Amino acid sequence: MDRNRRMGPNDPLFNEVAAVTSTVRALRRAQGKLNPEDVAFGSPEWDAIAADFTRDVYRAMGGDPDALTPLDL
């Protein structure tokens, strides 16, 4: 994956990323995990959940979440 890629609605992968993100949200909810919108934005809990969510999305897109750095999250 290109770490520096900027993506907007005109990008060919935009709809794919939106679909994967929605799927990850549903899977996390089915597993009893929280999604970022379930907690107060900016709280320490939100930071942890958002980072975990990002790793799940990255994994679903075929990336290696262990390769992410704290700055990526």
- CB neighbours of 59 closer than 8 A, spacing ≥ 6? 65
Average pLDDT, the chain: 88
State residue 26's pLDDT score.
98
Which residue type sits at 64? D
Kindly state whether residue 29 falls inside one of the protein's structural domains. yes
* Residue (of 65, 63, 62) closest to 52 by Cα position: 65
Supply the range of the domain harboring residue 49: 14-67
**Is residue 4 predicted with pLDDT exceeding 70?**
no
Kindly state whether residue 5 falls inside one of the protein's structural domains. no
**21 against 11, higher pLDDT:** 21
- The whole-angstrom separation of Cα 2 and Cα 18 is 17
Kindly state whether residue 73 falls inside one of the protein's structural domains. no
Kindly state whether residue 57 falls inside one of the protein's structural domains. yes
Which residue type sits at 26? A
State residue 2's pLDDT score.
61
Kindly state whether residue 38 falls inside one of the protein's structural domains. yes
Total domains in the chain come to 1
* Residue (of 29, 33, 27) closest to 59 by Cα position: 27
Kindly state whether residue 8 falls inside one of the protein's structural domains. no
Kindly state whether residue 2 falls inside one of the protein's structural domains. no
Kindly state whether residue 28 falls inside one of the protein's structural domains. yes
Residue 67 confidence class, pLDDT cut points 50, 70, 90: confident
